Amino acid sequence: MWNYLTCFSTWVENNSGQIQIVIGVITLSLAVLAYRGLLHQLQFSSRQRKFELLTALHSSVVDNYKMLYQASIDYSPVVEKFASVEKDLKSKGDPDALKITKLREMVEGQKNSIHQQVESLVNYSQSLSEKDNLTLLQLEDYQKQISLITVRTSQIVFFPIDLEVSLDKYLRTNRAEVG
């Protein structure tokens, strides 16, 4: 048995350079395989991020549509309330009727801006769906754009509520003065 170990030891000593080369080639092969796996994982991660961004973008568009639809419903009673108050004030010859008229026109203008926001969303959706191979940077730019649209939509949604509260305060104040 010692004879076999002696032969093996002698063989390793004589071929140590070749053995190191074989070990180096095996190590290099394993490193290349690990690198290819890393590249595959990065591509997968990039595709997953793109999918998440696209899903978030489409979800944001749908949420904005819902908010705008609700806003269009909420604006009608506010416009009617302003028109009613305006009519009452004009019939009484109240000088505040002009202020109410301007506010009603502003509310109607905001109601019309809902349609502009919807057009903006439609254009945004179309441009997003027309492009197939978007980069992450392009998708992030689209995300910024939809964020701005969401902010404008939120302003439109809450605007009639603020005006209605202001109108109610005005009516309570004037009724208190009259009464």
Residue 175: the pLDDT is 61
DSSP letters for the chain: -HHHHHHHHHHHHHTHHHHHHHHHHHHHHHHHHHHHHHHHHHHHHHHHHHHHHHHHHHHHHHHHHHHHHHHHHHHHHHHHHHHHHHHHHHHHT-TTHHHHHHHHHHHHHHHHHHHHHHHHHHHHHHHHHH-SS--HHHHHHHHHHHHHHHHHHHHHHHHHHHHHHHHHHHHHHHHHHH-
Instruction: Spell out the per-residue pLDDT of the chain, length 179, in tens.
Output: 788 888 888 998 898 899 899 999 999 999 999 999 999 999 999 889 888 888 888 888 888 888 888 888 877 888 888 888 888 888 888 777 788 788 888 888 888 888 888 888 888 788 777 777 788 888 888 888 888 888 877 777 777 777 777 777 777 777 644 43
What is the spatial distance between Cα 87 and Cα 93, in angstroms, rounded to a whole number? 10
Please, which residues have CB within 8 angstroms of residue 130's CB and are 6 or more apart in sequence? none
